[in-house]
Structure 1
Amino acid sequence: MDNTSIPWWMRIRTHVLLFGLAMSIFPLFILSNLSFNTVKQYMLNSIWEQNFEGVSVLADEVQEVFKNIENNLSYISVANGDALLGDDENKRQLVFKTLLDQEPFVEEIRVADKNLTVLDKIPWGNTAESDLFIPSHQSIFLSKVIFAETGDPKMYVTTAIPDPNTGERIGYFQVKIDLNSIIDNFTGHRLSKEGNLYFIDKSGNLIGHTEYSRVLDREDFRGNPAVQNFLEGNEYSQGTEYKNSEGTNVIGWFAKVGNPDWGVFIEQTTREAYQPIYSFTLKLLIIAILIMIIGSLLSIIFGLKLVQPLENLEGQVKKIISTGDIQEEIPIESWDEIGRLVQSFNQLLFLLDETNENLKNEKELLRIVVDGIGAGMVLLDEERNIVWWNSIFARWFGDKLTDLPWKLSLEKDRVFTVNVNGEHRHMRQILYELTPDKSNNAAYLLLLEDVTQQTEMEARMIESDKMATVGLLASGVAHEINNPLAIVAAHSEDLLDRLKEEDQSLEQDEIKAGLNIVLEQVIRCKQIISRLLGLARKSHDNDYVDIGQSSAQVLELLKHRAKQKNIKIVSQIDAGLFVLGNESEWQQVVLNIVTNALDASNAGGTLEVAAGRDDNNNEEIHFSVHDYGQGIPEKYLKKLFVPFFTTKPVGQGTGLGLFISYSIVQKMQGKLFIDSTEGKGTIVDITLPSYKVGA
């Protein structure tokens, strides 16, 4: 594969360049972003704090104006009470003129006695005397904002005139203030080019605005979030971002005046408020781009310088691959890290050459070993397809591996019969699971071993042991047959004697009864012989076996032997206990185990035989034989399944019974356990998989 066939995104040159660009851009981006956020937050806080400080100062200044008005009225009402309520009109007019000169915001003055009767006012007009509102518990009072017919906001300030001697109220002094002239002093100068300054009273009325026409139009500002905040009783707002009634994004601040109960509001468009931040962002972006360009250029230059030696190394390696000469060395151009990499690669080539030679030798040795063990080997993938086989497997089954003469199975251990080159051979299959790195690798190793001689030998051994056991039973069977034969002989002799004597009393019914007895005893003899022949016959086929019924037949054959030793056999065998196996072989297992138990039991003892399904696992069947005899010494327990080992005297046992029984149980996919205590007896327990009838 040359450079032209490698996609650009997979080339190391691209990786180095991208890494250099990334290391130039990302750290700078992170630092710039961190610096920008820090400065932005600082500038935001500065802008918001500055405007909040401005609106707070305005609120204090408005409150100071009204405080001065209240102080002047209070001073005049105390110092000039007699002149205001006296009969001298000139003195009263002089007081009015003095107040008008001091307070340019006052546009109307009235004086009333304690009964609220107006004594004098400036100017004289049609103002209703009912506007003179005097609370009973305050010495000075600010009225609510009222609007004239022109839309201008007005307010009344009323103070009580006290008696110099008693301090009681003897009259009232009231002025009407033009709020526009007061508020205009504050709204006349803007805090920003695009900002607005306005005043809202506690009722939500607009009483002052940078654009006074909006006051005259009685514009409703109650939907403004900042105004809602104020009307809900909040004292101030350090900044709230929202859309105003024109749909412009603004930031609003407000502060409560206190007395009067107004709110001073400042609104500034976000565009103007954040203009310093936008300017800072633009400058920072320009600087960052310049730094990124410089860093990228440097990364490209140094990246190309780094990649060039690597590309030279790649070319040398391709040359070695094309020629196949791994003994050739790559020239070292420099003694930096890349030069040391080339040196290490040369050493690797040398080791690779040695390893290649060793692998060839080991491969040949492995072939000799695999062929020498005499077993067929097959590798299978996950789909059970053959991916490799050795020469022995090919010699057995030829090259037609897709049409094997036996069914390919994933059983871990099984023995089956197959036709090999015209001969019936017994094969043992052993399966090993592998752990492939990839799905197309081998997943299983199948090992086939020719066990024909071993299988035939085991079969002959089982048959020999069976015949030896049958021989031991022959005497007992003879005794069993002798009894019914004696009965047959007696009845036959009696009938013959009576027929010879021509006994006239002999009836046909008596003859039939005698012959029936003879027939019953003959059938009994036939059954005994049939059981013995059934045990002795050869059987090679596996089928579903009712081990309860088969075991009961064996126990019938052993009755006479148990009777001879005065041993009672107690059996508790459930019905319908089906297993998969050979009935004759299973009867041999029962015969071997029960015979051993009878030999180990003492005269007058009891032998317990039980068979049934496991209560905890209904898919298992347990068959157990429990004797209370002499038991097995602990030192012999490990040798019980060794061929030809026996604890019986010479001539009384072959030592093959338990070994053969164990082999048969294993073939039936079962387990055999022996638990024995010397002097207390032995328990033999067999566990077999259960099957349903007709399964």
Structure 2
Amino acid sequence: MNNSSIPWWMRIKVHFLLFGVTMSILPLFFLGYLGFTSVRQNLEKDIYAQNFEQVTVLAHELKDTFANLENSLTLTKPTSAYALVGKDKTLRQVILETLLQKDPLIEKIQVSDINYKVIDQISYQEGVSAPSPAAKLENIISPGTFPAISKVLYTHDKRPKIYLTVTIQDPATKRNIGYLQAQIDVNRIINRYDSLQLGEGEYIFFVDQTGNLMGTSDSFLRLHPDKIRDNAAVQSFLDGKAYSQGSEYKSLSGISVVGSYTSVGSPNWAVVIEQPTREANKPINEFALRLIIIAILIMVLVMILSIAFGLQVVHPIENLEAQVQQIISTGNLESHIPIESWDEIGRLVKSFNQLLNSLDEKNENLKNEKELLTTVVDGVGAGMVLLNTERRIIWWNSKFAEWFGDNLADSPCDQVVNVKESENVQLENGRTISVFVHEERRYFRQMYYNLSPDNPENAAYLLLLDDVTQEVEMEARMIETDKMAAVGLLASGVAHEINNPLAIVAAHCEDLLDRMNEEEPQPTTEEFKGGFKIVLEQIVRCKKITDRLLGFARKRSNEGTDLIDIAAASMQAVELIAHKAKQKQLEIKLQLESSLYSLGNENEWQQVVLNLLTNALDASPESGIIEVKGYRDGETINFIVQDYGEGISQANLKKAFDPFFTTKSIGQGTGLGLYVSYGIVLKMQGAMALESTEGQGTCVKITLPFHKAGD
């Protein structure tokens, strides 16, 4: 296969590249993913922790601010308690002015008696002013608990303010003798955090316990303070959750933010810090970008190494492929591929050279075996031919060509092997067929075998034709010899049987001659007619006897087969031997069914019956019985000859079918009877079995295939 004809996805170089990229991407992907996930989680924790730490610091600072304000007001009470609630107005105003100047977050201070009636007051804008006679302290939350911080209140210009109220105690008795209330400007507190250093995009805002925005560093919230309650952190605070260490949600402006908050406690405010998620995740994104760049660089490096390594490995393989293609094109198995290295590829080349040597040796062995097989097939003396499923010739050996010609490819086998009387060449396995070869009659024994359908020639059958012409002719001569021997044995009996009618003829002729020689009385015409009639009957009787003998002795053609009636042909054979049975006073019992048709030669079948009956007569004692049975059993004809004579010993029983074997005296048998009969039965596609017990008799059973009349 040419390298250019190989699809790119099947090339080893591409496999090396894909392997390198895969082995670089997968580990980097998993390690990068694990590392990125871990770093991201840590960075998110750090961002949340940093934001929460900032809001916590701010909440503590606010709490400390109010604690300082409380301390500022509370520290003056032991020394100035009586002066604040006393009648010395000047002293009280001095103390109030001192307190107002001490803390710039305080806008106004009022002092009242135990009943919350305002005694005196001072503010930045108005200074010391006399309160109205009915003025009382307001905005006191939980009057029973001091110090008390009021709710956030808003002025007409939306400025938030709160009131911090503390008690004035009698230094001696510790009883409440009045109250001191400071109005605090919330904006001043919030504005102190405007310059706070925050992260990129971060902003803070403050809400009171009702969710009102008190201050923020975000311009959007300043413009939309009424929407602050829709903020997720504010909602969580209003729901009673004291703090949130960090969460991600949508801000009021619609962008994703990371927010944290915590409550101040006293006062019940919340400090919230928010940062856009994109700004918060900048470190994470920068880390991911660096990780991607590193991964790409590693993959590029791995790809370069994979390509270089793949070329280093594939180049020797391509050289090996080129050498192999050259060997295939030239067919020179004796050539060798040069070894360029001693690594695995070098060892592969060495192994391939060893394979070439082995293939060369096997190729030579195959050539020798092919020559030997050709010699055997051509010299075996049998014709061999391969046939396809339609029984057309695919291959033939030289012997078959010698008989039937050379141009046989794709020819029908039945037409090439011109069988006499249109017999099918493959009708019966092992059958002997008669064929004209070069205008000469030859006999072949055919054998055919079904072949496996997986053979490369698509052959379905192997047909073998063995020339058995000499064997058939020898068998015919042997049958004829056995027949002549049987005729010779029958001759004396036939001559004796003819003597009886001849004696009658002679007696009648002599009587008529004697009476004709006498003067008177002369034989009448009727007496002449009666005498001639008797003579004619005896002559016809002699003719029938000689005709039966001549019919049996006449040489007949053994070619082909006829449909014969086993019963009728057997009766004719019995008539030939009837005189011999009479001489020994033997009774032949016949039980033959009619219409027992089988394929064969009638003359040969009579010879089989005559041989079996002759053996039975010779083995039977005088006045004995011989049973001859013929009947049909399904598709089989059974023919049995049973005698009750001397039988055959077990030692001789094994040799009964051997040619020229006989237990009779010299001159009484040829030893061919059973051998020839066995051969004739086999020709008729039948079988013969011999059973005998010494002293009890012998039974010969023949089975033949049954054919319906007209087949």
Q: TM-score, normalised by structure 1?
A: 0.55
1:17 to partner: Cα distance:
9.0
Q: Percent identity?
A: 61
- Write the deviation string for residues 526-585 of structure 1: whole angstroms up to 9, x where unpaired: 211111111111222421111111111111111111122222111111111111111111
How far apart, in 1, do the equivalents of 2:304 and 2:630 lie? 88
> Is 1:2 the counterpart of 2:21 in the alignment?
no
Question: In structure 1, what is the equivalent of residue 355 of structure 2?
Answer: 348
Q: Name the aligned partner's letter for residue 658 of structure 1.
A: L
- Write the deviation string for residues 122-147 of structure 1: whole angstroms up to 9, x where unpaired: xxxxxxxxxxxxxxxxxxxxxxxxxx
Cα 1:311–1:647 shift into 2, 3 Å: farther
- Which is greater in Rg? 2
> 2:549 pairs with 532, 542, 546, which one?
532
Cα 1:331–1:599 shift into 2, 3 Å: same
Matches within 5 A, 1:575-594: 575-594=594-613
Matches within 5 A, 1:62-461: 310-332=317-339, 338-401=345-408, 402=411, 404-407=416-419, 409-410=425-426, 411-438=428-455, 440-461=457-478
> Is 1:599 the counterpart of 2:618 in the alignment?
yes
1:6 to partner: Cα distance:
5.9
1:481 to partner: Cα distance:
1.5
Kept after mapping to 1: 8 A contact 2:12/2:310? yes
Kept after mapping to 1: 8 A contact 2:549/2:576? yes
Cα 1:378–1:300 shift into 2, 3 Å: farther
Q: Size of the alignment, in residue pairs? A: 429
> Is 1:641 the counterpart of 2:657 in the alignment?
yes
Question: In structure 1, what is the equivalent of residue 49 of structure 2?
Answer: none
SS class of match (2:708): coil
How far apart, in 1, do the equivalents of 2:17 and 2:540 lie? 101
> 1:473 pairs with 455, 479, 490, which one?
490
Cα 1:569–1:332 shift into 2, 3 Å: same
> 2:648 pairs with 623, 628, 632, which one?
632
- List gaps (5 residues or longer) in structure 1: 29-289
Question: In structure 2, what is the equivalent of residue 273 of structure 1?
Answer: none
Cα 1:399–1:498 shift into 2, 3 Å: same
Kept after mapping to 2: 8 A contact 1:495/1:511? yes
1:361 to partner: Cα distance:
2.2
> Is 1:485 the counterpart of 2:497 in the alignment?
no
- Write the deviation string for residues 16-35 of structure 1: whole angstroms up to 9, x where unpaired: 799979x99xx99xxxxxxx
SS class of match (2:603): helix
- Write the deviation string for residues 393-424 of structure 1: whole angstroms up to 9, x where unpaired: 22222224235252472232222333333433
Kept after mapping to 2: 8 A contact 1:17/1:299? no
How far apart, in 2, do the equivalents of 1:438 and 1:584 lie? 47
Cα 1:321–1:473 shift into 2, 3 Å: same
- Write the deviation string for residues 482-541 of structure 1: whole angstroms up to 9, x where unpaired: 222223333344444455555478463x55444433333222222111111111112224
Q: Name the aligned partner's letter for residue 389 of structure 1.
A: W
How far apart, in 1, do the equivalents of 2:603 and 2:351 lie? 72
- Write the deviation string for residues 342-397 of structure 1: whole angstroms up to 9, x where unpaired: 33221111011111222222222233333333332222233222222222222222
> Is 1:688 the counterpart of 2:704 in the alignment?
yes
How far apart, in 2, do the equivalents of 1:438 and 1:641 lie? 43
- Over the aligned positions, Cα root-mean-square deviation in angstroms equals 3.9
SS class of match (1:647): coil
SS class of match (1:460): helix
How far apart, in 2, do the equivalents of 1:14 and 1:577 lie? 83
> 1:673 pairs with 684, 689, 692, which one?
689
Kept after mapping to 2: 8 A contact 1:579/1:688? yes
Cα 1:519–1:338 shift into 2, 3 Å: farther
How far apart, in 2, do the equivalents of 1:434 and 1:521 lie? 66
Cα 1:480–1:376 shift into 2, 3 Å: same
SS class of match (2:654): helix
Question: In structure 2, what is the equivalent of residue 609 of structure 1?
Answer: 628
1:477 to partner: Cα distance:
0.9
Kept after mapping to 2: 8 A contact 1:623/1:686? yes
Kept after mapping to 1: 8 A contact 2:334/2:356? yes
Q: Name the aligned partner's letter for residue 357 of structure 2.
A: F
SS class of match (2:455): coil
How far apart, in 1, do the equivalents of 2:430 and 2:326 lie? 52
- Write the deviation string for residues 283-303 of structure 1: whole angstroms up to 9, x where unpaired: xxxxxxx9xxx9x99999799
> 1:573 pairs with 583, 592, 603, which one?
592
Q: Name the aligned partner's letter for residue 698 of structure 2.
A: T
How far apart, in 2, do the equivalents of 1:17 and 1:381 lie? 50
How far apart, in 1, do the equivalents of 2:708 and 2:15 lie? 70
- Write the deviation string for residues 625-654 of structure 1: whole angstroms up to 9, x where unpaired: 111111111112222222111122222211
Kept after mapping to 1: 8 A contact 2:13/2:311? no
- List gaps (5 residues or longer) in structure 2: 28-294
Question: In structure 1, what is the equivalent of residue 567 of structure 2?
Answer: 548
- Write the deviation string for residues 314-362 of structure 1: whole angstroms up to 9, x where unpaired: 3321111112221222344555655444332211110111112222222
How far apart, in 1, do the equivalents of 2:6 and 2:466 lie? 51
Kept after mapping to 1: 8 A contact 2:450/2:460? yes
How far apart, in 1, do the equivalents of 2:575 and 2:305 lie? 98
> 2:576 pairs with 538, 553, 557, which one?
557
Q: TM-score, normalised by structure 2?
A: 0.54
Cα 1:498–1:400 shift into 2, 3 Å: farther
